[in-house]
């Protein structure tokens, strides 16, 4: 969808605003450019719609080089939201929203319907259409600013700190609303901000820039989990790294490290006694060095007890496992989706190190709701 190929911007006098940027994004991604002021994030964004033209390198949208296109037409195909909202005070809300359609010479009726349709997206009634921007609150104005960028159904939208001038409460609710809208409409967004909270909240991909150079590009979790260097760590802030921890626990932190196991050379009757003793319905089968061989459950014993007499003959070797450094969130999704009762946790060489059960999930949910109990006590 959007590709930066060795893009640089050098201003007159040799000042480099952006240096050798290579990035690639997919359609529908929410991309946030972040960095301290003067890091080149706004310059980078403005190069996409040629408000600033790159000095070196190429930018492609859907495989087309933007420098080969007419800048006016290019900009009409890209939504643009600026920080200061930038609604035209002499135009009604309808005229503001349907400005790009007007430039594209849509008929009046179609423009009006489009404006109405868009207003309903942000839960505003059609009677706002004939009002003027100054009659609206800051939050409403920026909603209109966003709608204006959606008016001609542009697939790509550029936003330059659009919520920066709003009060924290309005900003927060607008962020939620906008993120939902973006997912619903499947737009690709390039969003510039210096607010890390905003970036973590909205982004699918965060691009961290410093002095015009790419420092790190990745999903919010990737960046929180593996900050590329001290600069990123500092920029994220220690607080957030600590705060972020409960959300990005690895399986190792929540697993039960003592699953009930049995070795292959035991008999089935020993297995059933072990189950009865520990009050479980299945056992993990391990080798001498605790390498995972498979599992055996009460049903299998029941079916095969006449033919087989040892665990090795009855076990099911195929089973789903997770590594101990996998994110809890990913594991949870797999357990819930596949309807599994438990997942064994293994290390890199398939040695059993623990087990995640549905009871562990209850702990996580409990913890995220009540938030105070220490997980390790209850597991």
Residues at the contact surface with other proteins, assessed by CB under 8 A: 49, 51, 72-78, 80, 82-84, 86-92, 99-100, 103, 132-135, 148, 158
Which residue's CB is nearer to other proteins, number 74 or number 260?
A: 74
Nearest-angstrom CA–CA distance, 260 and 297:
12
Long-range contacts, stretch 92-98, CB < 8 angstroms, 24+ apart: 92/129, 92/130, 92/131, 92/132, 93/119, 93/128, 93/129, 93/130, 93/131, 93/132, 93/133, 93/136, 93/144, 94/129, 94/130, 96/133, 96/144, 96/148, 97/144, 97/147, 97/148, 97/151, 98/151
Closest distance of CB 32 from other proteins, Å: 19
Contact in structure between 152 and 101 (CB atoms under 8 Å): yes
Ordered alpha helix ranges (H), 167-323: 168-185, 196-202, 220-225, 230-236, 238-244, 251-254, 268-278, 298-304, 311-314
CB of 162 to other proteins, least distance (A): 12
Smallest gap from residue 120 Cβ to other proteins (A): 22
> Is the CB of 128 or the CB of 235 nearer to other proteins?
128
Q: At closest approach, how far in Å is the CB of 206 from other proteins?
A: 23
Tell the residue number behind the tokens 């319905």, with chain if given. 281
* Pairing mode of beta strands 188-193, 30-34: parallel
**From the CB of 156, what's the least distance to other proteins, in Å?**
13
8 pairs with which residues across the strands? 56
Enumerate the H helices of 226-267 as residue ranges: 230-236, 238-244, 251-254
Provide the minimum distance between the beta carbon of 75 and other proteins in the complex, in angstroms, as a whole number.
3
Smallest separation, CB 87 to other proteins (Å) = 8
């Amino acid at each position: 969808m959007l590709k930066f190929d060795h893009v640089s911007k050098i201003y007159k006098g040799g000042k480099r605003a952006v240096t050798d940027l290579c990035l690639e994004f997919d359609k529908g991604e929410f991309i946030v450019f972040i960095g301290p002021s003067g890091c080149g994030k706004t310059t980078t964004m403005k190069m996409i719609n040629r408000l600033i033209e790159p000095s070196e390198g190429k930018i492609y949208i859907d495989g087309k080089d933007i420098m080969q296109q007419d800048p006016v037409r290019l900009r009409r195909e890209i939504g643009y939201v600026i920080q200061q909202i930038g609604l035209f005070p002499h135009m009604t809300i309808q005229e503001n929203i349907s400005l790009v359609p007007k430039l594209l010479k849509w008929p009046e009726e179609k423009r009006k319907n489009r404006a109405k349709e868009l207003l309903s997206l942000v839960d505003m009634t059609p009677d706002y259409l004939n009002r003027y921007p100054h009659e609206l609150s800051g939050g409403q104005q920026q909603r209109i600013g966003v709608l204006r960028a959606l008016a001609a159904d542009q697939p790509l939208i550029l936003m330059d700190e659009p919520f920066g001038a709003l009060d924290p409460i309005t900003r927060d609710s607008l962020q939620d609303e906008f993120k939902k809208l973006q997912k619903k409409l499947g737009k690709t967004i390039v969003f510039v901000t210096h607010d890390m909270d905003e970036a973590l909240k909205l982004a699918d991909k965060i691009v961290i820039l410093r002095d015009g150079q790419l420092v790190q590009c990745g999903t919010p979790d990737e960046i929180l989990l593996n900050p590329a260097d001290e600069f990123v760590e500092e920029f994220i802030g220690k607080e957030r790294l600590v705060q972020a921890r409960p959300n990005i626990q690895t399986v190792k932190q929540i697993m039960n490290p003592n699953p009930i196991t049995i070795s292959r050379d035991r008999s089935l009757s020993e297995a059933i006694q072990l189950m009865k003793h520990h009050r479980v319905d299945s056992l993990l089968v391990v080798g001498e060095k605790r390498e995972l061989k498979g599992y055996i459950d009460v049903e299998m014993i029941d079916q095969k007890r006449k033919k087989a007499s040892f665990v090795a003959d009855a076990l099911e070797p195929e089973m789903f496992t997770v590594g101990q450094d996998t994110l809890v969130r990913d594991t949870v999704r797999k357990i819930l989706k596949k309807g599994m009762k438990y997942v064994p946790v293994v290390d890199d060489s398939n040695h059993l190190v623990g087990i995640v059960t549905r009871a562990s999930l209850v702990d996580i949910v409990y913890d995220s709701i009540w938030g105070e109990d220490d997980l390790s006590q209850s597991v």
